[in-house]
Amino acid sequence: MLISALLFHVLVATATLAVSTSGNEDASLVAGTDVSQPVQVVHPSASAGTTISEPVPDASSFNWAGSILTVDAATNVSSVTGTFTVPTPSIPPGGNSSGIYLSSAWVGIDGYTCETALLRTGVLFALVDGFVTSSAFYEWYPNVREYFGDISVAPGDEVTASVYALTSTSGEASIVNHSTGERTSVRLGGPDFVPLCRKNLDWIVGDPSQPNGPGIPSPLPDFGTVHFSDATGYVFGNPNAGQTVLNIVRNGTTFTTVSLGYETVVVEYIRE
In 3D, which of 92, 93, 78 has the Cα closest to residue 199?
A: 78
Higher-pLDDT residue of 86 and 243 is 86
Please report the pLDDT score of residue 35 as a whole number: 45
d(CA 45, CA 55): 9
Higher-pLDDT residue of 212 and 247 is 247
Please report the pLDDT score of residue 88 as a whole number: 96
Does the pLDDT value for residue 61 go beyond 60? yes
d(CA 157, CA 223): 14
d(CA 202, CA 119): 10
Q: What band does 62 get if pLDDT is binned at 50, 70 and 90?
A: confident
Domain coordinates in residue numbering, the chain? 2-269
Q: How far is CA 24 from CA 121, 130, 175, 176, 218, in A?
A: 18, 36, 11, 10, 35
Does the pLDDT value for residue 27 go beyond 90? no
Mean pLDDT of the 208-218 span: 67
Please report the pLDDT score of residue 99 as a whole number: 84
Please report the pLDDT score of residue 5 as a whole number: 34
Q: What band does 164 get if pLDDT is binned at 50, 70 and 90?
A: very high
Does the pLDDT value for residue 249 go beyond 80? yes
Q: What band does 210 get if pLDDT is binned at 50, 70 and 90?
A: low
Parallel, antiparallel or unpaired: strands 170-177 and 182-189:
antiparallel
- The CATH number given to 2-269 is 2.60.120.700
d(CA 29, CA 81): 11
Please report the pLDDT score of residue 241 as a whole number: 85
Q: What band does 14 get if pLDDT is binned at 50, 70 and 90?
A: very low
Parallel, antiparallel or unpaired: strands 182-189 and 76-85:
unpaired
Q: How far is CA 74 from CA 31, 71, 119, 168, in A?
A: 17, 8, 20, 14
**Within 13 Å, how many C-alpha atoms sit on residue 85's CB side?**
11
Q: How far is CA 232 from CA 78, 162, 192, 217, 247, in A?
A: 11, 10, 29, 28, 20
Q: What band does 57 get if pLDDT is binned at 50, 70 and 90?
A: low
Please report the pLDDT score of residue 217 as a whole number: 76
Mean pLDDT of the 24-49 span: 55
217 phi, psi to nearest 5 deg: -70, 150
d(CA 266, CA 23): 30
Q: What is the pLDDT of residues 101-118, one digit of tens each?
A: 999 999 999 999 999 999
Mean pLDDT of the 72-76 span: 92
d(CA 253, CA 123): 25
Q: What pTM, to 2 d.p., does this model score?
A: 0.85
* % of the chain beyond a pLDDT of 70: 79
Mean pLDDT of the 255-272 span: 90
d(CA 153, CA 14): 19
In 3D, which of 64, 19, 17, 34 has the Cα closest to residue 198?
A: 34
d(CA 94, CA 163): 36
d(CA 25, CA 64): 30
